[in-house]
């Protein structure tokens, strides 16, 4: 049970991916927030504990995912007698989060974007540049291909940059974190992998077109946390975007983090969320 009082501010956490549900990770690394907030994960449609095989005619788009979040927020507010939530979106989840702020600002007390998507095309261009400069022409060509090979190279770079401080996604360490949680067994872990695969297959093309760079204001406060070593969604893009906003905002860089500052520096993350939201 979440030890926070019933009237504590609600945090709704939107995982990345698409499809990469992460309840065991937030339980392990972000439990400190449960003393002051009602911290709630949403395993998105077809992901994690919400896994089901997508029907061929099932509508799975960014818009449908945002509306799923919207309906879930309304249910939370009714259940806890509150009028707004604190929304945290990580990576892919930051697309849904920022869309929620755009569409339903009255429901959002504030928004925190982790590894925020600003422009996927711009992020991919920076990946290519980084690959050519840091890895040389041969390995750099991997990054220039907009596919999974780039993610492997980028992950290795993050691990080496911080002496292995990053979460070893896809490794035995992450698998055991899931299996030690009360919510997962081998069968559910397999469904988790299926959820990632089907979500990416349905949403990848649309995700590549996402671009918030023309947005200059929001009707709710927005905060962005980027890891210094994030090569997936570079903080330079996020900082430039934040600097151009005319509405309340803040950009924060975590110097010992990559793409997952909430798990690379969990103590600092908890302190930052409390300072921003309480």
Burial of 70 (0-12, 13-18, 19+ CB in 10 A): middle
Residue length, the chain?
A: 278
pLDDT tens digits for range 88-135: 999 999 999 999 999 999 999 999 999 999 999 999 888 777 766 765
∠ CA 250-70-220, rounded to 5°: 25
Q: Predicted confidence band at 7 (pLDDT cuts at 50, 70, 90)? A: confident
Q: pLDDT: is 200 or 168 the higher one?
A: 200
> Quick check: 35 pLDDT over 50?
yes
Alpha-helical regions (H) of the chain: 23-29, 62-80, 92-103, 120-144, 148-161, 172-179, 186-207, 235-243, 261-264, 266-277
CB neighbours of 265 closer than 8 A, spacing ≥ 6? 254, 256, 257
Laid out side by side, the sheet with 249-254 consists of 38-42, 10-14, 85-90, 108-114, 222-227, 249-254
pLDDT tens digits for range 204-226: 999 999 999 999 999 999 999 99
Dist. CA 130–CA 127, nearest whole Å: 5
- All domains of the chain in start order, with CATH: 10-277 (3.40.50.1820)
> Quick check: 202 pLDDT over 60?
yes
> Quick check: 256 pLDDT over 50?
yes
Average confidence (pLDDT) over 256-277: 96
CB 78 within 8 A of CB 10: no
Q: Which of 24-38, 54-68, 73-87, 137-151 has the lowest mean pLDDT?
A: 137-151
Q: Predicted confidence band at 231 (pLDDT cuts at 50, 70, 90)? A: confident
Q: pLDDT: is 152 or 219 the higher one?
A: 219
> Quick check: 148 pLDDT over 90?
no
> Quick check: 72 pLDDT over 90?
yes
Helix (H) or strand (E) holding 89: strand 85-90
Pair of tokens at residue 223: 């905060």
Q: pLDDT: is 234 or 164 the higher one?
A: 234
**Token pair 């991919």 in the structure block, residue:** 124
> Quick check: 169 pLDDT over 80?
no
pLDDT of residue 171: 67
Q: Predicted confidence band at 63 (pLDDT cuts at 50, 70, 90)? A: very high
DSSP 97-156: HHHHHHH-GGGEEEEEEES--SBHHHHHHHHHHHHHHHHHHHHHHHHHS-SHHHHHHHHH
pLDDT of residue 6: 76
């Amino acid at each position: 049970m979440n030890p926070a009082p019933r009237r504590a501010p609600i945090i709704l956490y939107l995982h990345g991916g698409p499809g990469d549900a992460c309840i065991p990770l937030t339980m392990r690394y972000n439990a400190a927030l449960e003393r002051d907030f009602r911290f709630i994960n949403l395993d998105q449609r077809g992901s994690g504990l919400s896994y089901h095989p997508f029907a061929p005619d099932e509508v799975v788009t960014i818009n449908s995912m945002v509306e799923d979040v919207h309906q879930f927020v309304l249910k939370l507010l009714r259940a806890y007698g509150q009028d707004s939530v604190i929304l945290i979106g990580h990576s892919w989840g930051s697309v849904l989060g920022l869309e929620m702020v755009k569409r339903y600002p009255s429901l959002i007390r504030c928004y925190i974007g982790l590894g925020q998507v600003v422009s996927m095309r711009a992020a991919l261009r920076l990946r290519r540049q980084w690959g050519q400069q840091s890895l040389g022409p041969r390995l750099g060509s991997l990054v220039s291909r907009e596919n999974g090979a780039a993610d492997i190279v980028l992950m290795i770079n993050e691990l080496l940059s911080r002496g292995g401080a990053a979460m070893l996604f896809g490794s035995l360490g992450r698998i055991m974190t899931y299996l030690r949680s009360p919510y997962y067994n081998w069968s559910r872990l397999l469904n988790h992998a299926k959820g990632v695969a089907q979500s990416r297959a349905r949403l990848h093309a649309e995700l590549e077109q996402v671009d918030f760079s023309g947005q200059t204001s929001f009707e709710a406060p927005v905060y962005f946390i980027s890891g210094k070593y994030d090569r997936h969604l570079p903080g330079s893009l996020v900082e430039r975007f934040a600097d151009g906003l005319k509405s309340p905002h803040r950009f924060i860089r975590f110097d010992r983090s990559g793409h997952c500052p909430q798990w690379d520096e969990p103590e600092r993350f908890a302190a930052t969320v409390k300072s921003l939201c309480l």
